[in-house]
Amino acid sequence: MSRSCSPSEPSSFACAQTASAPTSSVQLWGIVDVAYRHTNNEGAGKDGLSKMIGGGMSQSRWGINVDEDLGGGSKALVVLENRLNADDGSVSTPFFQLSYVGLQGPYGRLTAGRQWNVLFDVVTSTYASFPYSPYMEAYKPELGMAVGARTSNMLKYTFATPDRSFVGSLQYSFDENNDTKALEAGLPASAAQVPAYVGSTLGGGAWQTAGGYLRYAANGFALGGGYMRTTLPGGTDVDAWTLGGSYRTGPWYFNTGYGLNKAKYETVTSTIQGFRNTVDRAILGQFWAGQTNGGFQPGDADKRQLFKVGVGYQLTPQLNLGAHYFRGKQSGSASGASNGKANFYVAVADYAFSKRTDAYFGVDHTSISGGTALVLDTASGARSRTGITAGIRHRF
């Protein structure tokens, strides 16, 4: 058995370990990112809040990638990735956020397990918000449109032309009978169990999805689109669409995109159906709510749209500048109280000390308008918030 460092990963932590074939490898990698963040209009007193966070540009994480050469241009692969909070050393989730195994050959790649969904794939590979980091971890309204971004129990088939000008993917995931029937049997007492059920479902739980994406890239241009249908445990179908593109020329990077989520709740004709809708709204609300995931409370709305446009400029070989604007619209609220619009602004400067270590400074601002229930969070009831983030990131 031999052990050697990869030329592309000179760190002593990123080494290849081979047993029989020299091209087979096991690679340990990671990102450690810690930042200071200050925001205003927090809590009931609408006070300022200063804190250290375990990821300003990227969430801290570590992973293991395995490749085994099977010959004939084919290989087996394994990906494991766990997330952590570098500010206090805690684990952000008690399970691997990515965990899949697969086979890759001349006709594409087939993978099985917990993976990024097709919406996340097409946006981050085709019209990411920043050229040096697909999104800002501390402020990412675009991720609220990705219906969780990761999906458990998924089969994914990815294909590409030889020159990779066209790349596409199809996904399907199994719900494993994760529904609301057990809770329904215990009503009305079981209504108190809904928050725990929602948490367990979002924490690596199962739901059914089906979708795909296709992207084209050549000569600095990239264009892509994707669709995914998610069936929530209460039976609600959520249709999600995205379309966008980017262009790189010299030091400039331009990108724009559009996303839509539409929840198709069943008409309430019984107490049971009303309960199912309540559970599904709670799950969808976790995708849509919060400053980092969509930016405002969903209430009883069933449709959200987001338009984004951004620009990046590499001022020097070390210094990258980027700015982004997002325009959100929420509708479908029966009372009108949760209908409205949101504006998100973010600008970031990133300085690279080396290929592995960089520091960054970002300013963001959110403002919303519309119905009386449209707020950033229920604790503060705020309709605007400004944030400042400064941090350092190292990759190994």
Residue 4 has pLDDT above 50, yes or no: no
Q: Phi/psi at 368 (nearest 5 deg)?
A: -130, 155
Give the pairing of strands 150-160 and 221-231: unpaired
pLDDT at 12: 37
Rounded to 10°, the helix 194-202/271-288 angle is: 50
Convert the pLDDT of each residue in 11-25 to its tens digit: 333 344 444 445 889
Q: How far apart are CA 158 and CA 103, in angstroms?
A: 11
Contacts of 364 (CB under 8 A, 6+ apart): 136, 138, 139, 344, 345, 346, 347, 386, 387, 389
Q: How far apart are CA 44 and CA 30, in angstroms?
A: 38
Closest CA to 215 of 169, 247, 172, 255: 169
Convert the pLDDT of each residue in 315-345 to its tens digit: 999 999 999 999 999 999 999 999 999 999 9
Q: How far apart are CA 250 and CA 235, in angstroms?
A: 49
Provide mean pLDDT across the span 256-265: 97
Residue 229 has pLDDT above 70, yes or no: yes
Closest CA to 268 of 238, 303, 234, 229: 234
Convert the pLDDT of each residue in 206-219 to its tens digit: 999 999 999 999 99
Instruction: Read off the pLDDT band of 9 (50, 70, 90).
Output: very low
- Tell if the pTM clears 0.95, that is, is over it: no
Provide mean pLDDT across the span 72-99: 92
Convert the pLDDT of each residue in 312-323 to its tens digit: 999 999 999 999
pLDDT at 294: 64
* Chain mean position to CA 180: 26
Contacts of 43 (CB under 8 A, 6+ apart): 49, 379, 380
Per-chain mean pLDDT for the chain: 91
